[in-house]
Amino acid sequence: MDFMKRASVLREKLTEASRSYYVLDDPVMSDAEYDRLFRELQDLEAAHPELAAPDSPTQKVGAPPRDAFRQVRHTVPMLSLENAMADEEFVEWYDRAVKSAGGTAPEFVVEPKMDGTAVEVVYENGLLVSGSTRGDGEVGEEITDNLKTIRGLPLRLKGDAPERLELRGEVYFPIRDFEKMNEELAAKGEKTFMNPRNTAAGTLRQLDPKMTAARPLRIVIHGHGEAKGIKFTAHEESLKRLEAMGLPTCAKHLKRGRTAEELRAVHEDWLKRRDKLPFEVDGVVVKVDDFRLREEMGFRTRSPRWAIAWKFPPREEVTQILDMTVSVGRTGALTPVAELKPVLLGGVMVSRATLNNPGLVAKKGVKIGDWVTVRRAGDVIPEIVGAIVARRTGSERDLEMPKKCPVCATPVSWPEGEAIPRCPNTTCPAQVKGSIFHFAHALGMDGFGDKIVEQLVDKGLVKDAADLYHLDLKTLSELDRMAEKSAKNLLGELESSKDTTLEKFLGALGVRLVGESTARDLANHFGDVHPLMDATVEQLQEVPEVGERVATVIHDFFAAQGNRDLVERLLKSGLHWPKPKKTEGGKFQGMKFVFTGELVKLARREAEAKVAELGGKAASSVSKQTDYVVAGPNAGSKLDKAKTLGIKIITEDEFLALLAD
Ligand code: IVH
């Protein structure tokens, strides 16, 4: 096919795929397929610069950096909204709104108030031509190149485009992506970000659009400024038409209502779902739907009479650290805890918050006596976001980490380079309680709350997880505040916990650095607990994703006689799991594969599972024992090593052919 035609087919396919993914939430192709087509288009455009088009999906990866932002004046000012914090304030606004609408309650629409940063995006004859921040509402900064990189924001509108369309929306950072980014930064020892909102705002004001492109920002359109060549009559109608043009709007979240009760029900419903949403919502916005009526109602100084932001109880608040204490976790980690001047957060009174680790206390610069921002999301333990340095008086003190464990008084160990100090005493009551609690919950025994575990340990009834299985009805019934029925329930939970999986069992042991996904990888690789217990550090490193540090921790754990005994005693108590499927005779029997570089057609996990299914093993490093190295694009040092050792190197397609043979 002629390359011009191919480029235009690719552009159309990619634009449509991106719209299905980001606007309709209904993906039509896999990420791998998207990447492949994207690269094909990039290559075509690089080879034929005359093909370059301003609306090509390749233009979404970021223009060259610049020195400063230009100021732009908004044609129609970007106003703000009046806030209602409590029900009474909403009712006051509602009564006023009905009055200014002529006395009869009009139709209202309710949409989520996205907690992001406000922007304007301008389309001329269908093409995205400029975009800006809200600024002071009159003048903002021109950030067109950055806005162009936002996933789901079309560079060209679909269908018949109006002459000029100024759209207003909110740019936000999805919570999951935000948390993932912070985890990765923390793992690298780099500074983490405060919250998704500030990060979205900061990301939009990067001078280098490639930096913006690297972060997964999203946008939702919730209104418009000037519109030439198109006439909208009502809010919902306008959003639906914008969505048909390919724009991500909040149309799908919109609810209608007329009475204060109906509107309150929508507010309550969003509040209830707040913790489960993939983005931060800090309230709802109630708006009059009809545009003619909006005009009649008009404005106050800074805000329209026809809309209000009805806020949720804040989840971030400012309070003071009265003291800091240190708690000991199940792995012996000493964690600072801030004792706070009680504060209402998301509807709950909060008086303690974790500081994760002492390094963070130093890095965040948090001191006793500081005024700090505290945040609580859902059921998660409240955390300190940072100190308000400007409010310091000079009387604040640094936290001194104790030299001895605050629970068992054993001198703490704090090796160079480790983020936190630990209590090295594995029989420290705090560690014992923490491990038993973790074990019980990992195996689904939710009845063993921390108060019960505490009593069991303090009364000397259990010393480790295996002791749980020797408890009887009489002993359990005699615990404080324990009825016979609850005691029976606990015995029932103990009994059903015995029928488990290797993966859950490994997770329950609570080996440091072994989370859910590592436990799964270990279970898949070793098939049973004894081969794992006897594995050397090198053998452990053959497990995909297990590096030297994790391998050493696992090895040391099973080298301790106490831990080996614990496993044996648990097995004796009747814990069991399905034995690995015999894969003998599989065509990869005894063969070792290493995957390196990108896989295009299969996910890495899938490919590794296929190897295991056929009796082979997927390893993470190349050695003389490796039979095949499957190398994809951007393969690195493993490929070089395979070449040096003369190992057979195959492509992903050749690997697929082996599978199909
Ligand atoms: S409508 C006349 N709708 O909240 C102002 N704003 O406090 C019309 N916001 O600056 C704004 N979600 O950035 C509107 N669904 C939504 C919104 C929303 C978030 C932001 C917006 C505005 C601020 C006002």
Task: Choose one of 93, 136, 279, 285 to mutate for the ligand 1 pocket test, by most ligand atoms within 8 angstroms of C-beta.
Answer: 285
What is the per-residue pLDDT across 563-608, written as a single tens digit (0 to 9) for each?
Answer: 999 999 999 999 999 887 655 678 888 888 998 888 888 877 778 8
Residue 157 burial (CB count, 10 A):
20
Say whether 522 sits in a helix, a strand or coil.
Answer: helix
Q: Which atom of ligand 1 is found nearest the CA of 309?
A: 7
349, pLDDT greater than 90: no
pLDDT digits (tens, 9 = 90+) for 8-42: 999 999 998 888 877 777 777 777 778 788 989 98
Lowest-pLDDT choice from 193-207, 437-451, 463-477:
193-207
Whether 309 lines ligand 1, by a CB cut-off of 6 Å, is yes
648 versus 417: the higher-pLDDT residue is 648
Answer yes or no: is pLDDT of 121 > 80: yes
Select from 412, 340, 400 the least CA-distant residue to 370.
Answer: 340
- Of 358-372, 422-436, 448-462, 527-541, which gets the smallest average pLDDT? 358-372
For the segment 59-68, the average pLDDT, to the nearest whole number, is 77
Which residue bears the tokens 């098939």?
Answer: 527
Mean pLDDT of the 39-63 span: 85
Ligand 1 pocket mutation, candidates 80, 115, 253, 306, criterion most atoms within 8 A of CB: 80
pLDDT at residue number 618: 83
Q: Is 194's pLDDT higher than 90?
A: no
| Neighbouring C-beta atoms of residue 377, cutoff 10 Å | 18
The confidence score (pLDDT) of residue 86 equals: 87
The CATH class, in words, for 429-497 is mainly alpha
pLDDT at site 660? 85
For residues 215 and 165, what is the distance between their CA atoms, to the nearest angstrom? 27
- Residue 78 Cα to ligand 1 middle (Å): 9
Among 117, 121, 222, 249, the mutation site with the greatest number of ligand 1 atoms within 8 A of its Cβ is 222
* CATH number of this structure's domain 502-572: 1.10.150.20
Query: Given this structure, which CATH class describes domain 3-59?
Result: mainly alpha
192 pLDDT higher than 80: no
Q: How confident is the model at residue 1 (pLDDT cuts 50, 70, 90)?
A: low
Q: How far is the CA of 232 from the centre of ligand 1 (A)?
A: 19
* pLDDT, position 293: 97
| Averaged confidence pLDDT in the chain | 89
559 Cβ contact list (under 8 Å, min separation 6): none
Q: What residue's CA is closest to ligand 1, atom 9?
A: 113
Q: What value does the mean pLDDT take over residues 392-396?
A: 93
Tell me the CA–centroid distance for residue 298 and ligand 1, in Å.
17
For the chain, the domains span 3-59, 71-311, 314-425, 429-497, 502-572, 592-660
Q: Please give the share of the chain, as a percent, with pLDDT higher than 90.
A: 56
Q: CA–CA separation, 179 vs 195, rounded Å? A: 9
| Distance between Cα 274 and ligand 1 center (Å) | 18
pLDDT at 45 over 70: yes
Q: Tell the residue nearest (CA) to atom 15 of ligand 1.
A: 113
Residue 368 tokens read as 């006793």
User: What amino acid positions are annotated as catalytic residues?
Assistant: 113
Check whether 523 has a pLDDT greater than 70. yes
Residue type present at position 402: P
Give the tens place of pLDDT for each residue, 198-218: 889 999 999 999 999 999 999
Give distance in angstroms: CA of 171 to centre of ligand 1. 11
Q: Separation of 80 CA from ligand 1 center, angstroms? A: 7
Q: Is 293 helix (H, G, I), strand (E, B) or coil?
A: helix
In this prediction, residue 238 carries a pLDDT of 98
| Number of Cβ within a 10 Å radius of residue 558 | 19
Is ligand 1 within 6 A of the CB of residue 101?
no
The confidence score (pLDDT) of residue 582 equals 58
Does the pTM surpass 0.75? The reply is no
Give the mean model confidence (pLDDT) for residues 349-375.
83
pLDDT value of residue 186: 72
Atom of ligand 1 nearest to the CA of 80: 24
The arithmetic mean of pLDDT across residues 514-535, rounded, is: 89
The share of the chain scoring above pLDDT 70, in percent, equals: 98
Residue 560: helix, strand or coil by DSSP?
Answer: coil
Please write the tens of the pLDDT for every residue from 135-158: 888 999 999 999 999 999 999 999
What does the alpha-carbon distance between residue 548 and residue 553 come to, in Å, rounded to a whole number?
9
Helices (H), 425-528: 429-442, 450-458, 473-477, 484-497, 502-509, 516-526
Rounded distance from Cα 622 to ligand 1 centre (Å):
55
Taking Cα atoms as reference points, which of 542, 534, 536, 540 lies closest to residue 611? 542
Point out the ligand 1 atom lying closest to the alpha carbon of residue 113.
12
- Torsion region of 124: left, alpha or beta (phi above 0 gives left; psi -120 to 50 gives alpha): beta
3-state secondary structure 328-356: ECCCCEEEEEEEEEEEEECCEEEEEEECC
pLDDT in the model for residue 566: 95
- Residue 584 confidence (pLDDT): 65
| Mean pLDDT confidence for 291-310 | 92
Which ligand 1 atom is at minimum distance from the Cα of 169? Answer: 13
Q: Is 30 in the pocket of ligand 1 (CB under 6 A)?
A: no
Q: Write out pLDDT tens, residues 67-79.
A: 788 999 999 999 8
Residue 408, pLDDT score? 93
Instruction: Give the pLDDT score at 377.
Output: 67
Given a cut of 70, is residue 296 above it in pLDDT? Answer: yes
Closest Cα to atom 14 of ligand 1: 222
**pLDDT mean over 251-258:** 96
pLDDT tens per residue, range 408-418: 999 999 888 77
Same topology between domain 3-59 and domain 502-572: no
Residue 583: its pLDDT value, please? Answer: 58
| CATH topology for the 592-660 domain | Rossmann fold (3.40.50)
pLDDT at 85: 85
pLDDT digits (tens, 9 = 90+) for 489-499: 999 999 999 99
Is the CB of 137 within 6 Å of ligand 1?
no
For residue 197, how far is its CA from the centre of ligand 1 (angstroms)?
A: 14
The DSSP secondary structure of 138-206, one letter per residue, reads: SEEEB-HHHHHTSTT--SB-SSSPPSEEEEEEEEE--HHHHHHHHHHHHHTTPPPPS-HHHHHHHHHT-
Amino acid at 39: R
pLDDT at 261: 97
Q: If you ran DSSP here, which 8-state letter would residue 96 be given?
A: H
Q: For the domain 314-425, what is the CATH code?
A: 2.40.50.140
Residue 81 Cβ inside 6 Å of ligand 1? The answer reads: yes
With the most atoms of ligand 1 within 8 angstroms of its CB, the residue from 76, 114, 138, 220 to mutate is 114
CATH architecture of 71-311: 2-Layer Sandwich (3.30)
Instruction: Give the pLDDT band of residue 255 (cuts 50, 70, 90).
Output: very high
Comparing 2-6, 130-134, 215-219, 230-234, the range with the smallest average pLDDT is 2-6
Strand, helix or coil for residue 503: helix
Higher pLDDT, 456 or 198: 456
